[in-house]
Amino acid sequence: MHIRVINPNTTRGMTETIGAAAQGIAAPGTVISATQPAHGPVSIESHFDEAISAVGVLEEVMAGERDGADAYVIACFGDPGLLAARELTRAPVIGIAEAAFHMAALISTRFSVVTTLGRTGIIAEHLLEQYGFRHHCRRVRAAEIPVLDLEDDGDAALSRIIAEGRRARDEDGIGAIVLGCGGMADLTDEIGEAVGLPVVEGVTAAVKLAESLVGLGLGTSKHGDLAFPRPKPFTGRFEHLSGLTPGA
């Protein structure tokens, strides 16, 4: 089984961290290819960043189709381009926020999310509503650290995440914590030990869900809104997409 794990930002160190976490949890025989777009933001911390990065995610899915990938993971907690990516393939496409919410709800009736910045916490709240998990989430908390601090000042960032996780444990009445950034993929064990609650991390959760769907023979439905996009002309910088026929 080949799972293509896509880091939607362009920071190579974060891609390597995400890829190592994914391979570490993958079943024997599962091959992880961790990739990132050639162009786009170095980190994703806004709706604008997400919109720009989504094009790169879609290009990585198209490349994965040529390489024969069996499933895809979008390794940013905003799940940028998720539904559009599902339109391009019959393979399962899993966003790490959606995966983490599902897993957390299976082990606890209430959870809190600990993410990087307050503004991205609002994006996470939108996703909780969209995916139907708002009732399960008591609070979305921000450690108020820029995403790249996870790479550049890791010890300080970890301390702030742990502190916020402890506040969530003590104040929110929860049974589990969801980590709200793909760049936290290698921190699960340390945070769980320090906080004393189950910690759900989206990259690893998404890999196991992708393996399950492939094992069950389930892929993205091509009936309804996730059918392949209709081929049509594109202009300007997207002219190369004219007549695109995914799945042909």
Give the residue extent of every domain in the chain: 2-95+205-241, 97-202
| Cα separation values, 246 from 15, 58, 88, 168, 214, Å | 26, 12, 6, 44, 19
Q: State the pLDDT at residue 133.
A: 98
CATH 3.40.50.12500 matches 2-95+205-241: yes
Is the pLDDT at 245 greater than 80, yes or no? yes
Q: Angle at CA 17, nearest 5°, toward 12 and 20?
A: 120
Is the pLDDT at 132 greater than 80, yes or no? yes
Q: Specify the residue for token string 């309804």.
A: 224
pLDDT band at 94 (very low <50, low <70, confident <90, very high): very high
Give yes or no on whether 2-95+205-241 and 97-202 have one common fold.
yes
pTM: 0.96
Task: Decide which of 3.40.50.12500, 3.90.420.10, 3.30.1330.30, 2.60.200.20 is the CATH code for 97-202.
Answer: 3.40.50.12500
